[in-house]
Chains A and B, each alone.
Chain A
Amino acid sequence: MTMIFGVPMAVFMGQLTLGLVNGAFYALLSLGLAVIFGLLKIVNFAHGAQYMLGAFAALLGFRYLGINYWLALILVPLVVGGFGMLMERFLLRRIAHLDHLYGLLLTFGLALIFEGTLINFFGVSGARYATPEILQGGLNLGFMFLPTYRAWVLVAALAMCLFTWFMIERTRLGAYLRAGTENSQLMQAFGVNVPLLITLTYGFGVGLAAFAGVLAAPLYPVSPTMGSSLLIVVFAVVVIGGMGSILGAIITGLGMGIIEGLTKVYYPEASNTVIFLVMILVLMLRPAGLFGKEA
């Protein structure tokens, strides 16, 4: 058997895939955070809770309404995103004129409410969501065994990232969004309905989180606390990459996933902490973040 630095090739590649899949989630979530931050200038602390809501919506939709995985993949982001739009319209907008730290605190409070409520109904142990039949099993690539579902998650997440990039960089709506990020007052003076744009942007960011949640449902136990611990790692990823560029968010997310996966192979004790250590290193060497614009 081929060995890579004293580790069997199959184990190495297996952890690498795991890392890439985790990285795809980091990328999707930090992308959503970056989109929201760009226009609203707030850090959406409820992002983890909204990811969790996405997973729960898929689980409950299947259990009570018989909505299958593929339908959930489309419906859940729309529903949770719509819910996010209501949050923006009725709560976040009321504090938009204040220091942006209040947005962080408000969304933190909302995250506590969502998480706590679901814990009361479903406990913390987590439920299983069945992998759709087509995606069960795996491919034998000769040097490793690749579970089909993980491959699909990787493809779907990257496709979603590309779609987001296309929307923002290549469409008229995206141009408005970029212009609004630069100077929303001027946009308003030009006759663009900025409040509506803000609502849509927040809804889109939340929808991305919910999409990630549906993708994660068959992979990890669906539990009310699945979002919060992930979100803190995503925050570290955001600090490392900076929220300046979409491509930066994707690259940093995947890169951190790979680093985490490799740490699991060579020094498992540090696999929980390695991303935070990278963050410390980046803060010391390049405080603005790898792709950051502001100092």
Chain B
Amino acid sequence: MTTTPTTSAAPLPSAVQERQRRAKLRRNMFYLALLAVGLVAPFVAYPVFLMKILCFALFACAFNLLLGYAGLLSFGHAAFLATGGYVTGYLLASYPGLTPELGILAGTFMATLLGALFGVLSIRRQGIYFAMVTLALAQLMFFVFVQSSFTGGEDGLHGVPRGHLFGMIDLSSNLAMYYFVFAVFVFGFAVIQRAVHSPFGQVLKAIRENEPRAVSLGYNVDAYKLLAFVLSAALAGLAGSTKTVVFQLASLTDAHWHMSGEVILMTLLGGVGTLLGPLMGAGLVVSLQHLLAQSPLGNWVSVILGIIFVVCVLSFRSGIIGELSKMYRKNFK
């Protein structure tokens, strides 16, 4: 932390230090409470549903790293989710001896590679062009998945075995599977939390706020953007790989541009640039889809998501967590 340009080397006044220490303590207590909730949750709610939320939450957190902290709106994150999912699904289905964690690693690795490729191409353009380039590249991947034989084309991959974690723990039990997914999510979240609060994260924020300024301060802006892009793609791939193991299938739904839109909505609804926002947004969107699917409004899901999108953009831009923390700051400080 001491290497950030914003914190000077001079010792801070002790009152400020004390306040920071207490804020950190509060934050840690909060995370511990969340961890406890996560550990107890499968005994209260249906584990498969919770796993779905966790997978999408990780996906949204990865997306948020890019939009919320580097200010880059990617409209093609579905490509990474799908790549992770397809590679893991294909490997686990074709090589029965392969353990799930290796399959997930391989899927994540391929998504990371794809992220590096997309990143190099897309950071050549800024702003809305960046969004259009990522969307077009993801559509290219969509057609690749449709035409390739290893993805099963329109049918997708079915019956991917969950297998035994490390060759020992049987994941066919939903409870074991849940704790594995929970561990993956906590790992991903910790990586993002660490990245955001590191000097790297500070530079990303500087680029988001004023790119020419960051350049003039001597930062290699493209390298920072690329690293953020690759990290985000890797975690999105991890989410996709894990999702494939949980649901034992990989399909074109994950590669479609609707999916790229959904992850934007989750992040926007929860709060762009907040750590917990994507978790909250993913929880809400997945629950909403779940509820609507069983109601007479089942066919109207995409219309309702569209309406939420419009309402969010018009009057709710900080998202739920963002608005809450604004309120908190106004009333308690």
Contact = CB atoms under 8 A, between A and B. Distances in A.
B306 A232 contact: no
Given A94-B314, A95-B313, A101-B131, A111 B257 contact: no
Interface residues of B, number: 39
A112 B132 contact: no
Contacts of A104: 73, 128, 131
A110 B306 contact: yes
A94 B316 CA distance: 13
A273 B147 CA distance: 11
B124 to A, nearest CB: 4
Nearest to A43: B128
Contacts of A119: 299, 302
Interface stretch (A167-175, A191-199, A280-288): A280-288
B140 A273 contact: yes
Given A101-B73, A276-B139, A284-B121, A232 B310 contact: no
B126 to A, nearest CB: 8
Contacts, number: 113
Interface string A113-142: 101110110000000000000000000000
A37 B137 CA distance: 21
A117 B136 contact: no
Nearest to A229: B139
Interface in B92-140: 121-122, 124-125, 127-129, 131-133, 135-137, 139-140
A116 B303 contact: yes
A119 B128 CA distance: 28
Given A100-B127, A112-B309, A279-B136, A117 B303 contact: yes
A106 B314 contact: yes
A238 B129 CA distance: 9
Contact of A115 (B122, B140, B264, B302): B302
Interface string B254-284: 0001000100100010000000000000000
B261 A108 contact: yes
Contact of A112 (B73, B125, B146, B306): B306
A42 interface: yes
Q: How large is the interface on A (under 10, 10 to 19, 20 to 34, 35 or more residues)?
A: 35 or more
A35 interface: no
B307 interface: yes
Interface string A264-286: 00000100110011011001100
A61 to B, nearest CB: 23
B302 A239 contact: no
Contacts of A269: 147
A263 interface: no
A276 B306 contact: no
A169 B301 CA distance: 44
A105 B268 contact: yes
Contacts of A106: 309-310, 313-314
B143 interface: yes
A43 B126 CA distance: 13
B143 A109 contact: no
A211 interface: no
Contact of A101 (B127, B143, B146, B257): B127
A111 B300 contact: no
Nearest to B303: A116
A155 interface: no
B91 to A, nearest CB: 25
A239 B125 contact: yes
A235 interface: yes
Contacts of B133: 239, 279, 283
Interface string B302-333: 11011111101110010000000000000000
B223 interface: no
Given A102-B313, A108-B309, A120 B125 contact: no
Contacts of A109: 305-310, 312-313
A31 interface: no
Contacts of A283: 121-122, 124-125, 133
A284 B122 CA distance: 10
Interface of A: 37, 42-43, 91, 94-95, 98, 100-102, 104-106, 108-113, 115-117, 119-120, 228-229, 232-233, 235-236, 238-239, 269, 272-273, 276-277, 279-280, 283-284, 287
30 contacts: A43-B131, A95-B313, A95-B314, A100-B128, A104-B73, A106-B313, A109-B305, A109-B308, A109-B309, A109-B310, A112-B302, A112-B305, A112-B306, A119-B299, A120-B299, A228-B257, A229-B139, A232-B136, A235-B132, A235-B135, A239-B129, A239-B136, A272-B143, A272-B147, A273-B143, A276-B137, A276-B140, A277-B140, A280-B121, A283-B125
Given A109-B309, A116-B306, 9 more contacts: A91-B314, A101-B128, A109-B308, A232-B135, A232-B139, A235-B136, A236-B136, A273-B140, A283-B121
9 smallest A-B Cβ distances: which pairs?
A109-B309, A112-B306, A116-B303, A113-B306, A116-B302, A276-B140, A287-B124, A236-B136, A109-B310
Interface of B: 73, 121-122, 124-125, 127-129, 131-133, 135-137, 139-140, 143-144, 146-147, 257, 261, 264, 268, 299-303, 305-310, 312-314, 317
